[in-house]
Structure 1
Amino acid sequence: MAAPKKGRSASAHSRPGRSLVLILIAMVALTGGMFLAGHTTPRLGIDLAGGTSITLRAEAEPGQESAINKTNMDTAVDIMERRVNGLGVSEAEVQTQGDKNIIVNIPKGTNSKEARDQVGTTAKLYFRPVIATEVSGAAATTSPSPSASGSATDKATDKATDKASSSSSPSASSTPSATSTTQGRAVTDALKADPTPSDSASSSASPSASASPSGSADTSKLEAQYAALDCTDETARAKAGDGAKPEDTTVACGQNADGQWQKYILGPAEVDGTEVDSAEASFNTQTAAGWTVNMKFTGEGRKKFGDITGKLAQNQPPQNQFAIVLDNEVVSDPRVSEALTAGTAEISGNFDQESAQSLANMLSYGALPLSFSEDSVTTVTAALGGEQLRAGLIAGAIGLALVVIYLVVYYRGLALIAVASLLVSAALTYVIMSLLGPAIGFALNLPAVCGAIVAIGITADSFIVYFERVRDEIREGRTLRPAVERAWPRARRTILVSDFVSFLAAAVLFVVTVGKVQGFAFTLGLTTVLDVVVVFLFTKPLLTILARRKFFASGHPWSGLDPKRLGAQPPLRRTRRPSAPIETKEA
């Protein structure tokens, strides 16, 4: 009774149809997702699709020429790489050229303008108290609106207590007076009304006398600049606050939540961008705040931020706001309702995912150790890359054709299984690469194409290992069906060890390299994983099914499994073990 039970167990264990249905469902689902996403072709890198190349030249402050050194240049390259990666741009190349230049290559198909704006900025990031603000340009003829993102109910909250500051929103009583200057206060009063702070920046009072120019002449000059500033004019925006030092009171521009340009008078910088340890965008599911930006400060930044927020919280709008200023442009101006001393803060408002991520990028990577100016911005064509791609594809096609010819000549009928497996692997690779473009920003470049071509050999090796194990079993005198099952465990171990070594090499190469070489490593690792999937879920089940067909089971000469051609031994039979020879005893 044991034998039939064992046979039923083996039959239940070997269900190749299920594996084939599983991989078919996966292929259909991935293909459907590709068409639904609208990305039916892989995203191409800059060497294949073209893109934008930006040359930046490092500039040091007067008397600090020694700041342009290898350490600071390498730091700048690292920050720029993280900036473009924060925008979802993959395959962007950032590298030094000479002692003072940095080259940034951004592939086509990405938001190159936004990337150029963030990478090309000199990235002097400061937190400045707001002294006065109003809508600039044509909109200023109407009643002045609240501060730039104050109308969006921007607020800074202590992340540790998770306490909202919506209560600090300006009330109706804080509506500006008829004078179209600050919100409820004339510019002169805003500059002069506050007490004089201590000398240290970290302990200075909220916008105060030190926040204002020294002397009435300087005050009048600043008022004149503020009155004449038209932030709707791009040239005027670029010159706003030009030459201002961190310790100076200055004017600046920024956009509010309605897309209107707002102009500001800002006090001296209280916190430097280098004192922001990290910032990230997140969706707050606990409140109705939606997308928020969470900041974490360094030890010194924590103290400075706690001091200034404690003083700003005592002021009336708009002087309870601090402006986050990136190169004299206000990117956000949240209100403060209490001192934030925990070293963390949350900025909320009418953010969507894109705007929250953009602000988080600026806060995280907004403090470069050097200033940079654009030397040149050029468009890179893909003509040369296209020619190399065609040459690479031709070489790949020739190599694939030679592999197929070898399989047909040597393995005959088994070559059908190998070719079908290669086609399945190629289809999965293409679909997944197409999906990874919009998903993680993967871009196919020339090294990545080389990685895919190399994968043909890795996949073919797996088939050959399994086929040879099956043929070895046949040479030992077994029939095809038991040979297929007995050969699989031995072939499986060899295939897994081989693919593990390939994947490990790809992983190490991906970690220790940058730029295009990472594309080669990523593609090699991806195709290695797919090789395991195809061999386990397609090649092995398909061979199990075909082993039941007469053409293969009978050992047809064109099946590749002909026992005579393989030099098989006579079929194995169970025989009684011969008894030991009896030695003849001497008389």
Structure 2
Amino acid sequence: MFMQGKGTPKLGLDLAGGTTVTLTAHTENGKTPPGQQMDQAVKIMTQRVNGLGVSDGEVAKQGGNNIVVNLPGQGQTRAAETIGSTAKLQFRQVFAEASGLPSQAPATTPAPTASPSGKATGKPGGKATIPATGGPSAKPTTSAEPSDTATPRGRALSKALTAPTPSGSPSAKPTGSSSPKPAGTPTAQVPPVGADGNDFAGVDDKAAIAQFQRTVCDPKGGPTVPGSNDVNRKWVVACDDKAEKDDKGNIRVTKYLLGPVRVLGEDVKSASAMPPDTSQGQSSWSVNLTFTGKGGNQFSQTTTEASKAYQSNPSSPQAQVAIVLDGQVVSAPSINQGPITGGSARIDGPAESFTQTYAEDLSNKLKYGALPLEFKMSAIDEVSSTLGADQLRGGLIAGGIGLALVLLYCMVYYRGLGLVAVGSLVVASWMTYVAVVILGENIGWRLSLPHIIGLIVSIGITADSFIVYFERIRDELRAGRALRPSVEVAWKRARRTILVADAVTFLAAVVLYFLAVGGVAGFAFAMGLTTLIDVVVVFFFTKPLVALLSRTKFFGRGHKLSGLDAKRLRRTAQARANSTVRPTSQEV
């Protein structure tokens, strides 16, 4: 807890206030979206904002096309943008790339080679575990390292995907005379080479080529290229999601001409953000992807085709596979180390941009799938807490009173042995507090009133465990055993009862957690957490402490204030037996 620099728990909406965001759905025809799609969007957003059910976020429909998201904490604009982003993921093979500026008019004389040369610079760093050499250079290289004349096209994958089979070789030379064809002659088989150096081999859509040549990518992150997020389009033009500087200091954004979709986002089985692995030379966070069986096969096929293109011509754009998220290219690695199998991938990036926040946001969006509709943020407001400090203080006072009464009862009934009960509850409370703080920093658990109720209820659960053990010890003493043997025999018999009772409580918490939502799920999470803590405390604190105390004179000799006076316990048991009313022989 102290290593992560946080010593207080995070509070939820009802105790600390937060941010309210209104997201409005937009459809192509401008009409109200279907209710089924809105319900699906609410479900996905709920998973994004409150995937574990402990961050106290709330998502609800408002009207026909609005969704209201309540996020705990102030200044949650970034989180709202992440929740409302469509997160439509596509994997496409690259067929051309260049600086995100309009190309010049097509050359009348076809270029003799297909080596691209129009890209000003590549993306800095690498967004993958495989070396990326996709940045164009004046001269192709066969080394795994990029040439001196080009920066590597970065932010790549460690695993590959399936790509469409190119209809032409990336290094194919155009046929025909070098002079312009007279009017009326048939169109050339190979599209003309533009000033960007792309030969567009394998591209059969002239409209897509024209769109690519006239597209200008906004360095400030303007709107996506029209049609770039349409999975049904065979050829799309997309811009990189990050700007970069060339050798002259000009800010450019790379543009791409991409082929058909080879792997869809729904074929990603899971996604998780991972810290840098220094042993592998990583300096930035990464996102690990695991594909479904279908997606893994497509991914392997695509990397095979991209790898063949790289072996044929290392500077060929078709050696790259683009990861397109919401119409923008997140990464475009070169597959330069052969096809990748195994159904998994990793997305990396430069340390300055691929931060922990970026990696967690990206993995969160990919983990729960794409929204069925496009949403735009129409309003964002800061809201105050609905309960506030007074109610929180009242709840904590109520918990303190309950804890004090339990401790008082234990001291009166168990006398010296009650000190073990006090110590056990103190240790359990301390462990619970530390767990709440740590989980708040790592999984976003925020304490709301239902969570606090779950923690207070656990006081009784913890007290039950050591009461079962204490009563078992006293039964063994009544039976005539000495204290130290009684401690061990009682533990063997009591621990099964303790485990069964805790298992029933934990099972109830698990069922409630998975079947409920919102505050009820948070209550169940708190109750399940404290039940596990109770098991740890009883096994590793309560029982060892009793065993140690049994070796002392105060407890070992059965002092009358120890609570373990064997003679007194036997006398009490005999008195109870004698006072029992028994029927006479005549009544029998």
Question: TM-score, structure 1 length as denominator?
Answer: 0.68
1:81-480 alignment runs, 5 A limit = 81-84=46-49, 91=55, 93=57, 95-98=59-62, 100-108=65-73, 112-127=76-91, 129=94, 131-134=96-99, 146=120, 149=123, 151-153=124-126, 166=132, 168-173=134-139, 194=200, 205-206=202-203, 208-213=205-210, 226=216, 230-232=218-220, 237-241=221-225, 246=230, 247=233, 250=237, 252=239, 254-256=241-243, 262-264=253-255, 266=257, 270-271=261-262, 273-274=264-265, 276-278=267-269, 280=271, 291=286, 294=289, 296=291, 299=294, 310=305, 321=320, 323-335=322-334, 346=345, 350-351=349-350, 354=356, 358-365=361-368, 367-382=370-385, 384-480=387-483
Q: Secondary structure of the residue that 1:375 maps to in structure 2?
A: strand
Q: Per-residue CA shift, 1:162-199, capped at 9, x if unaligned?
A: xx5646553344869xxxxxxxx99955699536xxxx
Matched, 1:35 2:23: no
1:84 to 1:338, Cα distance in 2 relative to 1, 3 A: farther
How far off is 1:458 after superposition? 1.0
**Residue of structure 1 aligned with 2:14, choices 47, 57, 71:** 47
Q: Per-residue deviation at 1:390? A: 1.8
Q: 1:69 aligns with which of 30, 35, 38?
A: 35
Whole-Å separation in 2 of the counterparts to 1:293 and 1:535: 39
Distance 1:238 1:458, change over 3 A: same
The residue type equivalent to 1:106 in the other structure is L
Superposed displacement of residue 403, structure 1: 1.5
Change in CA separation of 1:408 and 1:59 when aligned onto 2, cut-off 3 Å? same
Q: Do the aligned partners of 1:133 and 1:318 also contact (CA within 8 Å) in 2? A: no
Mapped partners of 1:171, 1:497: distance in 2? 68
Give the unaligned 5+ runs of structure 1: 1-33, 137-142, 158-163, 177-184, 196-204, 214-218, 572-587
Please say if 1:567 is aligned against 2:571: yes
Amino acid at match of 1:491: A
- Pick which of 537-546 and 445-454 moved more: 537-546
CA distance in 2, matches of 1:343, 1:470: 57
Q: What amino acid is aligned across from residue 231 of structure 1 in structure 2?
A: P
Aligned residues of 2:45 and 2:59 also touching (Cα < 8 A): no
For the Cα contact (< 8 Å) 2:83–2:365, is it kept in 1?
A: no
Unaligned ranges ≥5, structure 2 = 102-116, 141-148, 151-190, 576-588
| Coordinate RMSD, CA, aligned | 4.5
Does the 8 Å CA contact 1:270/1:308 hold for their aligned counterparts? no
Tell me the distance in 1 between the aligned counterparts of 2:530 and 2:295.
48
Cα deviations across residues 145-174 of structure 1 (Å, max 9, x unaligned)?
Answer: 65653x43567x9xxxxxx56465533448
**Counterpart Cα distance in 2 of 1:209 and 1:301:** 32
- The AA in structure 1 aligned to 2:44 is I
Amino acid at match of 1:432: A
> Which deviates further from its counterpart, 493-502 or 336-345?
336-345
Conserved 8 A contact 1:480-1:553: yes
Amino acid at match of 1:255: K
CA offset at residue 423 of structure 1?
0.8
Mapped partners of 1:295, 1:470: distance in 2: 53
Q: How far apart are residue 426 of structure 1 and its match?
A: 1.1
Cα deviation for residue 113 of structure 1 reads 4.3
**When the two structures are aligned, how many residues end up with a matched partner?**
490
1:325 and 1:332 in contact (8 A); partners too: yes
User: What is the one-letter code of the residue matched to 1:116?
Assistant: A
Whether the 8 Å contact between 1:45 and 1:443 is mirrored in structure 2 is: yes
**1-side partners of 2:19 and 2:84: how far apart?**
12
C-alpha distance in 1 between matches for 2:436 and 2:299: 47
1:330 is paired with a residue whose SS is: strand
CA distance in 2 between counterparts of 1:429 and 1:437 reads: 12
* Cα distance in structure 2, aligned partners of 1:426 and 1:305: 51
Query: 1:152 aligns to what SS in structure 2?
Result: coil
Q: Distance in 2 between matches of 1:170 and 1:443?
A: 49
Preserved CA contact (<8 Å) 2:134 2:333: no
1:543 and 2:546 correspond: yes
Q: CA deviation at 1:379?
A: 2.4
Q: Which whole-Å CA distance do the structure 2 matches of 1:341 and 1:131 have between them?
A: 22
* More moved, 452-461 vs 556-565: 556-565
On the 8 A contact 1:123/1:327 being kept in 2, the answer is yes
Q: What is the Cα deviation at residue 393 of structure 1? A: 0.9
Please identify which structure carries the higher helix content. Answer: 1
2: CA distance, partners of 1:494 / 1:43: 35
Which residue does 1:10 correspond to in 2? Answer: none
